[in-house]
Each structure stands twice: as C-alpha cells, then as structure tokens.
Amino acid sequence: MERQAASVRDITYQTGWCYHNQLNGLRTPSPHVMPDPASLPPGVDPEQVREQEYTRAGFVPTRDHATAYLYRAHPGPSWRRDGIQRLAAEEVAPLWVTGRYAPPRFVGCQPRRYRAAPIEQGHAIQNLRTLLYNADVALGISTCTREMPYFFRNADGDDLFFVHEGEGVLETEFGPLGLEKGYYVWVPRGTLYRIVPDSPHLFLFHLENYGEKFQKPDTGITGDAAIYYHRNIEVPTLRYSLSRGDFQVVVKQGGTFTAYHYDHHPCDVIGWDGDLAPFRLNIRDVKPITSWRAHIPPSAYCTFLGNGFEVCSFVPRPVETAEYALPVPFDHMNHERDEVVFYSEGVFFSKDTSAAGTLTFHARGFSHGPHPRALKRALERRQREGAFLFEGYFVMVETSAPLSTTPWAETLEDKDYPNSWLS
Ligand SMILES: [Fe+2]
C-alpha cells in the first residue's frame, strides 16, 4: 500500500496526538543536545544522565512516525550483570494470546455472546485473557485485585485498556495516569508500565494493536473538534524515582516473556518531550453525531483507527424522532467486517439484554439487527414520550480480518444467544 508523506496537519493533529513538553526545567535547546548539568534535579549524577530517543516507525516519515525524547537518570542498558532471564509464558500470562503470531482458530459462523469474565485474584498481566484475535488485533479482559509485582514493556503491540470497573493508577515512565471508569488508556508499545488497583478490583477491557499507532478519524465537515478534541486527551504528568533496590521489568516480545533486573527504579525519566506518549480519554468526552431523520451508523462514533480495525464508542444520544425513522439500527450483513461489542453500562438500544461486562461477537456471514424486543421497546417509548435518550456506554471493535476465538472464550459462551432474535 502506498503511503502518503506526512504533512504538517498530519503531524500536529491527525496522527501525532500533538506535542507535549514535560522537560521539567531541564535546559536543552533541542534533541541530541544534553541538558545543562546545572538544570538537573537534585540527586541526579550528571555522568549517568542519558537522552533516550523513544520512537516508532524508525526514522521514516510515515504517518506512524512519532518520537519522544526521554532524559533518564541512568543509561537505558543498565541492567544488572546476568540480569536477563527468560520466563515461561504459562507463569507470566498463560491465557494472553499474541494474535500476530498465533495460528487462526475458527469454530464456525454464528452469533456469539460471552458472559462477564469472573473477577480473578491476582494482577493485571497474569489475569490478561484473550477472547478473540487476528494478526492485527487481540481482544480480551483483565481483572485484577492486586498491583503488578514488576514493571512491564509490551514490545509486540500497543495496549489499549478500557476501564469498566474500579479505580487505580497506571504508573509509566512518562508519569502516572489515573484509571477510572470510562477511560480509554493507550500505552504505546514499549512504554514501561505497572497497573496498581486502588479499589478491591479492576475490570479492564483490553485491546492489543499490532499495526501502526492509532489515528484519530478524519471528521471531515464536522471539524477538528468532533467527536472529541485535543483537550480531552490527557498525557501523564512527569513523576520519577531515583530510589535504588531490586527492580524487575518483564518484556513481552513475540509472545515470549523476558525479565530484566535493575539496581535502580526504572521510572527514572527526569524530563521528556515529543509527540509519542501514553494518554487517556474518557468515553464521556465523546460527542456523538446524530440525526433526527436517519439512524447514523457506528462510523459516526469512530474513536480510534487502527490497521485492520476501528474502535467506536456508543454514548448517550437522542433517539431519531422523524416519522417512520428507525430508532435502532437496520438489519445488516457486513461482509468485510467482524463486529465485537463490549457492554459497559446502560441499555444497548438494539439488544434485548446488555448486561454489564458481557461481550458479543458477530462474525461476517450472517444477518443481524435489532432484537425484536429492543425494537418494540424503542418504538413504544418514542410513541409514549415523543423523544428520549438512549443511555449507556459501549465499546465496539470492527475488524477487517476474521477473528479467531480462544478456548477460554468458549468457557464464557452463552450457547442460546443465536436464538435471541427468534420469537
Ligand atoms: Fe452489527
């Protein structure tokens, strides 16, 4: 596929998620010029300070190119001598399937619904369980009750977490980001992080992206502020540690896990800037495009574009009220997309049930549309009230390539779901 060279607009808005300066008082006029030693924070050894270029897409100016310059209190390759150790996947994350490298596993074409995953004791990585995957993306759930005992770098893909239940903190080398209900939290591949719950448990919907970094969809005639704006994107505020001790960083690469051991805290970034950093966006800041005359398809709710998939946010919106206008989606057969919906909160407008934490998987190959009871419910309510809001928050992922299911997904499957359209 031919790639377009990046334009100024690409870099500043559509692809870069914009530039951020968290240099924290370091005096340096440009990348590759080391900070003035007099501007270093107390306790930092000038001899040890390094600039680390944190980048993706190499040095080629494709739309995926992005860079941050991290100023670290220690050299990047400063692990302990003999401090690298291969770990067994069964011990680290036994049910995490790295879709990019996993063989397809197709189990037939029918509508599928998966019950909410049980809350498991343990931390976010060991409890990360994949439901569906292809070579572009893997979708799963992580529930956790305790903090991760190590830091983690995912070299295979970007991690997108959607916080369904609970609160906590995502510690990163760029600084911390709060985990609260309704937040999408994007961790670019390779970013060091650790998930720490602040509530009895966290329930996270997880997406692993193997392609280029997310794009903000082109919102065309609706303008740059649709359907969310820069100010809704929050990057971490720098926080670092110079403490010493025994620190472990687990790296996932090619679906394998390797531990690195350091004598210093790995969040030792004393300043950074650039256009590549973790961020969070709350689904409540997504503003839907609506029409009173025609049901607007989910493309109007597209929040992130990936290679081979889209992430769409369903949020509260007024029902269509024009005469004969359908207040729910039309029957559809989309033959070049598989469709997954994660039900977080509220009543989904076209489904007869939308229990929190459940997930539906509609592969290409069959027709579906509103459940009869959902259509009746919407029509009757509109008749009675004239107009009303559909209330709820739901995440949809549509993929270009067919999705495979995992054996773990089958343990959660509601086998009667295909009959839910029948009276
Ligand atoms: Fe659909």
Q: What is the DSSP letter of 393?
A: E
Dihedral sign of CA atoms 84, 89, 90, 91 in order: positive
**CA–CA–CA angle 103, 107, 112 (5° rounding):** 120
| 229 C-alpha to ligand 1 centroid (Å) | 27
* pLDDT value for 17: 65
User: What mean pLDDT comes out for the span 150-164?
Assistant: 98
pLDDT tens digits along 26-72: 999 999 999 999 999 999 999 999 999 999 887 776 777 788 999 99
| 332 C-alpha to ligand 1 centroid (Å) | 6
The region of weakest confidence among 29-33, 230-234, 311-315 is 230-234
| 308 C-alpha to ligand 1 centroid (Å) | 17
SS (H, E, C) 295-342: CCCHHHHEEEEECCEEEEEECCEECCCCCCCCCCCCCECCCCCEEEEE
DSSP for 231-284, written as a single string: GG-BPPPP-----EEEEEEEEEETTEEEEEEEEE-S--EEEEEES---EEEEGG
Q: Is the pLDDT of residue 2 over 50?
A: no
| 363 C-alpha to ligand 1 centroid (Å) | 9
Residue 265 CA to residue 249 CA, distance in Å, equals 10
User: What mean pLDDT comes out for the span 224-245?
Assistant: 93
299 phi and psi, to 5 degrees?
-60, -25
Residue 228 near residue 285 (C-beta atoms within 8 A) = yes
CATH topology of domain 284-421: Jelly Rolls (2.60.120)
| 368 C-alpha to ligand 1 centroid (Å) | 6
Residue 10 CA to residue 126 CA, distance in Å, equals 37
Task: Tell if the pTM clears 0.85, that is, is over it.
Answer: yes
| 301 C-alpha to ligand 1 centroid (Å) | 14
Residue 116 near residue 409 (C-beta atoms within 8 A) = no
- pLDDT interval class at 210 (50, 70, 90): very high
Residue 191 CA to residue 374 CA, distance in Å, equals 43
| 415 C-alpha to ligand 1 centroid (Å) | 19
How many Cα atoms within 13 Å fall on the side-chain side of residue 284? 7
| 5 C-alpha to ligand 1 centroid (Å) | 34
Residue 304 near residue 216 (C-beta atoms within 8 A) = yes
